[in-house]
Structure 1
Amino acid sequence: MSNEQWQVLKDIAERLNGETELQPMLQGVLQQLLPLTGLTTGWIFLIDERGKHTLTASVNLPPALEKTGCDALKRGGCWCVDRFKNGTLHKATNLIHCKRIEEAIQDNECEVDDIVDHATVPLQAGGERFGILNVASPGKTDLSKEELALLESVALQIGSAIKRVQLTAQEKEVALVAERNRLARDLHDSVNQLLFSMNLTAKAGSMMQDVEQSKDAFGTIQHLAQEAIHEMRSLIWQLRPKGLEQGIVQAITTYADLISLPVKVKQDGVADIPSPIEERLWRISQEALNNAKKHADADKVWITIQKERDSVTFTIEDNGIGFDMSALDSLPTVGLSGMKERIEEAGGSFELESAIGRGTTIQATIPF
C-alpha cells in the first residue's frame, strides 16, 4: 500500500473519531473511501432492529438510482438488505447483481452508467450490527481478496464509530434529563417558595387591615399569588413529570388531575413504546390537555393510544365548545400549532376535526 493510501486511511480514521453526527460522518468517509479503492459509486444503508433500512449516505449514484430522491434505494427490499436482516451477511461479499438496478433497467428508467453489480460489506462492531456498505464501479465484476479485506477493515472502523456516536447521543439525552431535573429543583427551591411567602404575607395583611380598599388590594395579591403557585407547580411537573417513569398513561392521568380535568385513557400495547416516542407523546398530551382546559372549555376528555408494529396512534377527544374549521385559515391556538409541529417533526401525520358545540378530536400517528 502506498504512502498516499495510508494517508487516506489515516484521514478516514480521524474523521470517524472526530465526528459526532452520523450522516455527515458517513457521507465524508464514503467520499474518502471510494478513491482509495478505485471504485466510483457507493451508498450506505443503516438498518434498525426492526429491519427498516434508511439511505444515510451516497456518492455518485447512477441516474436510475438517484431519480426522484433516490426512491429506488429507499423503497422495497433487495438481496443485500434481506441477507443482513436474516443474519447471513457476516463478511464482505464480492460483486453481485443488484436487484434495484435490475428493476430500474426493466422499467426502462434512467441510465445505470454501466453499473449492474456491487459489493456489500456489513457494518458491525462488538457483536452489534448497524447496516451495510455497498460499493460499485462501471464494468467492474470482481474484487480481489485484498480489496475485500480493505473494505472490511474500513467497515469495522465505521461500525465502531457508529456505536460511539450512538453512545454519545444517549449520554446527551441523560444529561438533558439531569439538567431538566436540576431546573425543576431550582424553581421549587427559589421561585415557588417566594410565591408561597407572598401568599402568606398577603393573607395576614388582609386580616390585619380595617380599611376596605387595603383589604381588597391584599385580597388581589393573595389571589394572584395563588394562581402563580398553581402555574409554577404545573411548570415544575412538566419539567420533571412524576409518573412518566411508570408509563405514559400514568403521566397523562396525573397531569389531568393536576389541572382538574377529568380524563379517560384507553391504551393498547404502549408498554414497549421507545422512550423518545413516549416523551414526545407526553408533550403532545400536555398541550392537548391544556388546550382542552383553557380554550375548549371542556370538562371531559377521552384519550386513546394504539401501538402498531412500527407506529403509534394517539387520539384525543373533548366535549368542549368546538370551532368552525371552514372559517379558519390556520390553527386557532398556539397549543394546536405546537402539537402539529411536534408530530410533523417526528415524520408523523396530524388530523383535526371540530365543529361548534360538538367538541374537538385530534388524531396523530407517529412512526418509529
Structure 2
Amino acid sequence: MDILRALKEMSKTLNEGTDVTSMLTPVLTKLLQVTGLSSGWIFLIDEKGSHTLVAEANLPEALTCAKGRLLKKGGCWCKRQFLNGELTSAVNMLECQRLELAVDQKLGDTKDLTHHATIPIHAGEQPIGILNVASPGKIHFKEDELNLLETIGYQIGTAIKRVQLYEQEATRACEYSQLSSFLQRLHTLTYESSDQLLINELIHAFHLTQEDIDLTSSIEHLSFLHTEQLSQELQSHLQEHLCLFKERQRLLELEELLTQQKEREKLAHDLHDSVNQLLFSLQLRLKGLSMRLSEPSMKDELRSVTDIVKEALKELKEVIQVRRSDGAELDLSKQILRYGHLVGIRVELSNDQKVTFSDEEQKEVYRIVQEAINNTKKHAGTEEVQIILHKNNQQRKVTIVDAGRGFDEEKELPVHTIGLKGIRLRAQKVKGVATLTTKKGIGTTWEVVFPREGGEQHESLNR
C-alpha cells in the first residue's frame, strides 16, 4: 500500500473523529497495515500517572485474557520512562515487561512477541500517552521506521487533544445549560424557602444525591463530595449564585420586616388619632354630665361608665405600645402575660425545663400563642389558658390548652380556618409542626413541636 496515501487516510480519520476510541482503533489498524507490523496498543496517561487503554489491534491471547488485565493494570518500563520525562522520541524497547509477565504466568499464546517500539504521544509540548507496536520475532526497529511512527504519534496527539477540547466544551455547554435552568428555578423561590428546599433543587438540576453534598456546611460555603461530573468552574459559579441567593433572601426578609414595622406604626398612629381621641372625648363629656347631674344614682352610674372608659383608654395605650414596638423590648413571657391581661385571659405559664428559643422562633411562638389566646377569648367560653413547655433530646414542645367548649374542626372550619392556618404556617416557618386537638365539650389543645435547639438561643418564658 502506498505510504503517502495511507498517511492521508489516517490524517482524514484523525481530523474527522469526535470520539477517541472510535477514532484511534481504525487508525491503529491502518498503521499496522502500512508498516507490516502485527500488533499495537495505545495508552493515555493522565496527570496522576494513571493509564487507560484506548485502542488495540490484533493483540495476542496473552495480553487480552482476563479482559486485558495485563494491559489495563500495573506499570511497565515504557510507562515509567514516560512519567519520568525520559521518553521524548520513538525508541526500541529491548523487552516488553507485560509480555514477560504473560509468559511467567502462562496466560496464553504471545504470538512470539517479545519486543516493541514505544512512541510518545504529545499534543504540542504536553505528553498525553504512549503508542506501542510489535511483530513476531522483531527485536529492533530501523531509524526510518521510528521516524514514521513518531510522525504518526504527533498526528495522533494533536487529534486526541482536539477531541478532548471538543468534549470539554460540550460538557461545559451542558453544565451551563443546567446552571441556567437552575438559576431560573432559583429566582422563583421566596425568602421563606428553606435551605433543604434549595439543596433539593440543586440535586434535581444536576442529577446529584444527598451523599454528593456536604450538608454540614452552610449554603454560602456549600461544598461538593464525589462529584467528578461537576467541573471546578461550575462548582465555583454555583457557590457564587447560592451566596447571592442567600443575600437576596436576607434582603427580602428585611424588606418585609420593615414593611410590617411601618404597618404597625401606621396602625398605632391611627388608633391614637381616632379611637384614642374618641374615648378621651367621651371621658370628658361623661365627667361634664356627672357634674351637672344632682341625682345620686345617676351620678354613680355615670361615674361607673367613666371608669370603664378610663380602663378602655389604658388598655388601648397598651395595645398601641405593643403595636409600635412589636414587644421587642420585652422577653417572651412578659409579652404573653401582658397580652393575656390585655384581652382579659388568665395565662398560666410553665417552663420548668428552661426551654429556649432563637430570636426568629421566639417571634413566631409569641404570634402562635397570641392567636391561640384570641381564639380562646372569641370562641372557647373560658377566660383561662395554660401554656406548658417541654423538651427532650430530639425536640421542644409548646402546649397551649384551654378547657373551653371546643369545636368540631371539620364542621366549623370556616369560622376558624384563617387562625388555624396562621398557627400552622408560623410553626412551619421555623421548622416546627403545629397539631390541633379539639372536640365539642373537651376544650382545645395546640401542640407545637420544634427541633432541638440550634444557633443563638435565649431563655424564654421564665416567670
TM (norm. structure 1) is 0.55
Change over 3 Å in CA distance of 1:216–1:254 after alignment to 2: closer
Amino acid at match of 1:168: L
Residue aligning to 1:197:
281
Change over 3 Å in CA distance of 1:207–1:56 after alignment to 2: farther
CA distance in 1, matches of 2:246, 2:196: 18
Amino acid at match of 2:413: L
CA distance in 1, matches of 2:330, 2:251: 26
CA distance in 2, matches of 1:216, 1:35: 90
Amino acid at match of 1:331: L
CA contact (8 A) 1:243 1:254 kept: no
Residue aligning to 1:297:
381
CA distance in 1, matches of 2:427, 2:308: 38
Confirm or deny that 1:257 pairs with 2:341: yes
Amino acid at match of 1:172: E
Residue aligning to 2:359:
275
Residue aligning to 1:38:
174
Give, in angstroms, the shift of residue 283 of structure 1: 1.6
Matches within 5 A, 1:45-56: 54-55=198-199
Deviations 1:63-104 (A, max 9, x none): xx7xxxxxx96xxx52x33x351x6xxxxxxxxxxxxxxxxx
Confirm or deny that 1:161 pairs with 2:268: no
Matches within 5 A, 1:115-264: 124=220, 129=221, 131=222, 147-148=231-232, 150-176=233-259, 178-180=261-263, 182-183=265-266, 185-187=268-270, 189-191=272-274, 192-209=276-293, 225=309, 229=313, 232-233=316-317, 235-240=319-324, 243-264=327-348
CA distance in 2, matches of 1:359, 1:318: 6
CA distance in 2, matches of 1:296, 1:256: 14
Change over 3 Å in CA distance of 1:132–1:162 after alignment to 2: farther
Q: Secondary structure, in 3 states, of the residue corresponding to 1:329?
A: coil
Q: Secondary structure, in 3 states, of the residue corresponding to 1:38?
A: helix
Q: Secondary structure, in 3 states, of the residue corresponding to 2:448?
A: strand
Give, in angstroms, the shift of residue 252 of structure 1: 0.8
Give, in angstroms, the shift of residue 251 of structure 1: 1.1
CA contact (8 A) 1:187 1:236 kept: no
TM (norm. structure 2) is 0.45
Match among 396, 420, 424 for residue 339 of structure 1: 420
Change over 3 Å in CA distance of 1:203–1:217 after alignment to 2: same
Residue aligning to 1:329:
411
CA distance in 2, matches of 1:182, 1:260: 24
Give, in angstroms, the shift of residue 330 of structure 1: 2.6
CA distance in 1, matches of 2:344, 2:314: 11
CA distance in 1, matches of 2:377, 2:437: 17
CA distance in 2, matches of 1:231, 1:324: 30
Identical-pair percentage = 22
Q: Secondary structure, in 3 states, of the residue corresponding to 1:313?
A: strand
Residue aligning to 1:99:
none
Change over 3 Å in CA distance of 1:260–1:329 after alignment to 2: closer
Question: Please, what is the CA RMSD of the aligned residues?
Answer: 4.7
Residue aligning to 2:435:
350
Give, in angstroms, the shift of residue 303 of structure 1: 0.4
CA distance in 2, matches of 1:246, 1:345: 20
Deviations 1:322-356 (A, max 9, x none): 14538x6133844x741333314643332222442
Deviations 1:255-287 (A, max 9, x none): 12223322211234543x233332222122112
Q: Secondary structure, in 3 states, of the residue corresponding to 2:380?
A: coil
Confirm or deny that 1:57 pairs with 2:139: no
Q: Secondary structure, in 3 states, of the residue corresponding to 1:295?
A: helix
CA contact (8 A) 2:401 2:446 kept: yes
Residue aligning to 1:107:
none
CA distance in 2, matches of 1:359, 1:142: 58
CA distance in 2, matches of 1:228, 1:262: 18
Change over 3 Å in CA distance of 1:284–1:222 after alignment to 2: same
Change over 3 Å in CA distance of 1:290–1:277 after alignment to 2: same
CA distance in 1, matches of 2:407, 2:370: 23
CA distance in 2, matches of 1:162, 1:309: 33
Matches within 5 A, 1:86-97: none
Give, in angstroms, the shift of residue 193 of structure 1: 3.5
Give, in angstroms, the shift of residue 288 of structure 1: 1.6
Amino acid at match of 2:174: G
Matched residues, number: 266
Q: Secondary structure, in 3 states, of the residue corresponding to 2:413?
A: coil
Gaps of 5+ in 1: 1-33, 66-71, 88-121
CA distance in 2, matches of 1:324, 1:248: 29
Deviations 1:92-145 (A, max 9, x none): xxxxxxxxxxxxxxxxxxxxxxxxxxxxxx964xxxx2x357998xxxx767xx
Change over 3 Å in CA distance of 1:35–1:349 after alignment to 2: farther
Q: Secondary structure, in 3 states, of the residue corresponding to 2:199?
A: strand
Give, in angstroms, the shift of residue 206 of structure 1: 3.8
CA distance in 1, matches of 2:201, 2:229: 23
CA distance in 1, matches of 2:443, 2:219: 51
